[in-house]
C-alpha cells in the first residue's frame, strides 16, 4: 500500500513531519531521477523503494531508473565494487569498453531532462559522459571508499570530477584527493515497510513455518547477500564454537542481487562448507527475497550477527536494532556508527572468532542483557536512522543545489 509522510507522524512526531513539509515547499514540482543498477537485493534498492515514493508524496517529481547491463557488464562492475573496497583489479581496455558501452546504450533509450540527477554507486557513473549536462549531478556512493585500488580510482575520477556533489555514508570515506564537494548522509530504514513493520507472534510463527525454519532451538541469524565481504564462511566457524556449548540453529538468509554475478558461486561454497549441518537442519540457508521473512526471522532470532569484512553502512544492522534485537557485529565500516560496544550490542574485530562465540553465548545465557541491549538499539535507530531523517537530509541538499 502507498505510504504518505503522514503515516510516520506517530513514530517520529509532529516536529519532524512539519520540518519536512517546510523544507519541501520551495522544491515543489522540481524533478529528479535516481539511477542505480538493481530493483532488489542489497541496501541501495531498499533505500530507494522507501525514499522515492516519499519524495513524490511531499511534492517533488522523483523517478527511479535501472541501468540495464549484460552479465559481462555486471561481472566487471562487481570487480570494480570489490576493488573500491580494497581488492586489486586488472583494469584492462576491454573492461573499460564494456563498462562504457552499457552506459552509452542506456543513454540512447533513456531521456533525462530532470532538474537533478542522482547516480548510485559505480555502475551508472559514466552516464555523465553521455548527456548534455544542464543540471546538478550527484554521485551517491554507498560503499566503504577508504582504500580504493589506486588505478581504478584514478580511472573513475574522469567521471567523478564532473559531478557537483558526492554523498558518502561515513566521515572516514571522504576522499582528500578530489576537489568535488563531499557530504555525509547516513542511510536509513523505513519503519513501516513489510520488512520492518510490527508483526504479530502468530505471523512470525506462520512465516517461519512456511520457510521450514523450526523454532525448537534458539536462532542465530545473519541476513546478507551471499558475498565474501559478508563472510558467512567465518560465521559458520563461529557457529561451530558456539554449538560446543549451547545447542542452537544458524539461519543464513541471503538473496542474490541481479547486479552481483559472484553470489551464486559464493553460495555454493557455503553450501559445501556447511553440508552436514545443512542436512541435519542445524544450519539453514535461504535464498528467497522475501521481506516478511526477513522481518520474522530477525524478530524470532535470539541474536542477530553481522560478521562482515567490509560494510558501507549495513542496513541489516539497523533493521535488527529497530526490532530491539541484540546485534553482534564486526567493528568495521558503518557498523560502529550504529552500535556502541556494550551499550546496544557488541562490536568485535572480524577475525576474533572466539570473541564472537563468547558474546553469542553470553546473550543466549542472559536474556535480560539481550533485552537491555535491544531496547537501547531501537532508541538509536529512532533518533538517527529512520527514513524521515534521510528525506530531510536530501531535501536540505536539494535546497542548496536547486534554489538559487
Nearest residue (CB) to ligand UDP, 241 versus 309: 309
- What is the closest distance, in whole angstroms, from the C-beta atom of residue 230 to ligand UDP in the complex? 7
Number of Cβ within 10 Å of residue 160's Cβ equals 18
Q: Which lies closer to ligand UDP via its Cβ, residue 42 or residue 377?
A: 42
| Separation of CA 148 from chain center | 19
For ligand UDP, the binding residues in 156-195 under the rule CB under 6 A are: 195
Helix/strand/coil for 317? helix
Query: What is the rounded CA–CA span in Å between residue 95 and residue 127?
Result: 16
Stretch that binds ligand UDP, among 110-118, 125-133, 213-221, 309-317 (CB under 6 A): 309-317
Please state, in angstroms and rounded to a whole number, the distance separating the CA atoms of residues 404 and 393. 18
Does 374 engage in binding with ligand UDP (CB under 6 A)? no
Q: Which of 313, 322, 385, 394 binds ligand UDP (CB under 6 A)?
A: 313
Q: Can you say how many angstroms the Cα of residue 227 is from the centroid of all Cα atoms in its chain?
A: 13
Map residues 252-271 to x or -, x wherever contact with ligand UDP holds by CB under 6 A: -xxx----------------
| Residues in region 22-51 near ligand UDP by CB under 6 A | 42-43, 46
Report the residue from 67, 314, 327, 397 that binds ligand UDP according to the rule CB under 6 A.
314
Minimal CA–CA distance to 338: which of 326, 350, 352, 355? 326
Query: Quick one: which segment of 269-277, 315-323, 338-346, 365-373 binds ligand UDP (CB under 6 A)?
Result: 315-323
Q: Is 54 in the site for ligand UDP (CB under 6 A)?
A: no
In the bound state with ligand UDP, the residue whose beta carbon lies nearer, of 323 and 359, is 323
Checking phi first, is residue 329 left (phi over 0); if not, alpha (psi -120 to 50) or beta? beta
Closest listed residue to residue 116, CA positions, set 403, 404, 402: 402
Contact yes or no for 44/120 (Cβ under 8 A): yes
Phi, psi of 281 (to 5 degrees): 65, 20
- Contact residue for ligand UDP among 24, 135, 301, 316 (CB under 6 A): 316
Under a CB-based contact definition with an 8 Å cutoff, are residues 122 and 81 in contact? yes
| Interface residues toward ligand UDP, by CB under 6 A | 42-43, 46, 195, 223-225, 253-255, 289, 294, 313-316, 319
Amino acid at each position: 500500500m502507498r505510504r504518505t509522510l503522514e503515516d510516520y507522524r506517530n513514530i517520529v512526531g509532529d516536529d519532524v513531519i512539519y520540518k519536512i513539509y517546510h523544507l519541501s515547499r520551495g522544491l515543489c514540482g522540481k524533478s529528479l531521477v535516481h539511477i542505480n543498477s538493481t530493483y532488489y537485493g542489497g541496501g541501495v534498492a531498499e533505500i530507494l523503494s522507501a525514499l522515492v515514493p516519499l519524495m513524490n508524496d511531499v511534492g517533488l517529481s522523483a523517478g527511479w531508473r535501472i541501468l540495464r547491463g549484460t552479465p559481462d557488464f555486471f561481472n566487471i562492475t562487481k570487480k570494480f565494487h570489490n576493488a573500491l573496497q580494497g581488492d586489486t583489479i586488472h583494469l584492462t581496455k576491454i573492461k573499460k569498453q564494456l563498462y562504457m558501452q552499457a552506459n552509452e546504450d542506456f543513454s540512447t533509450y533513456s531521456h533525462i531532462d530532470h532538474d537533478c540527477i542522482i547516480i548510485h554507486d559505480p555502475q551508472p557513473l559514466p552516464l555523465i559522459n553521455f548527456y548534455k549536462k544542464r543540471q546538478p549531478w550527484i554521485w551517491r556512493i554507498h560503499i566503504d571508499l577508504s582504500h580504493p585500488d589506486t588505478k581504478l580510482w584514478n580511472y573513475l575520477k574522469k567521471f567523478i570530477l564532473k559531478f557537483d556533489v558526492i554523498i558518502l555514508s561515513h566521515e572516514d570515506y571522504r576522499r582528500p584527493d578530489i576537489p568535488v564537494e563531499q557530504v555525509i548522509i547516513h542511510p536509513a530504514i523505513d519503519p513501516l515497510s513489510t520488512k520492518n513493520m510490527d508483526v504479530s507472534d502468530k505471523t512470525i510463527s506462520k512465516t517461519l513455518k512456511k520457510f521450514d525454519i523450526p523454532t525448537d532451538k534458539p536462532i542465530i541469524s545473519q541476513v546478507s547477500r551471499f558475498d565474501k565481504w559478508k563472510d558467512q564462511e567465518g560465521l559458520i566457524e563461529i557457529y561451530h564454537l558456539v554449538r560446543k556449548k549451547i545447542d542452537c540453529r544458524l539461519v543464513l538468509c541471503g538473496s542474490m542481487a541481479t547486479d552481483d554475478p559472484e553470489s551464486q558461486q559464493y553460495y555454493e561454497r557455503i553450501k559445501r562448507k556447511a553440508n552436514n549441518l545443512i542436512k541435519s537442519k542445524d544450519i539453514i540457508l535461504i535464498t528467497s527475497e522475501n521481506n516478511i521473512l526477513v522481518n520474522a526471522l530477525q524478530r524470532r532470532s535470539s541474536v542477530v550477527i553481522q560478521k562482515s569484512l567490509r560494510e558501507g553502512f549495513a542496513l541489516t544492522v539497523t533493521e535488527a536494532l529497530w526490532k530491539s534485537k541484540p546485534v553482534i557485529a564486526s567493528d568495521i565500516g558503518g557498523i560502529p556508527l550504529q552500535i556502541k560496544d556494550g551499550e546496544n550490542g557488541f562490536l568485535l574485530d572480524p577475525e576474533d572468532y572466539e570473541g564472537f562465540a563468547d558474546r553469542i553465548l553470553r546473550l543466549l545465557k542472559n536474556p535480560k542483557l539481550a533485552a537491555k541491549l535491544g531496547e537501547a538499539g531501537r532508541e538509536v535507530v529512532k533518533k538517527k536512522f529512520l527514513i524521515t531523517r534521510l528525506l530531510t537530509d536530501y531535501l536540505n541538499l536539494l535546497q542548496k543545489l536547486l534554489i538559487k
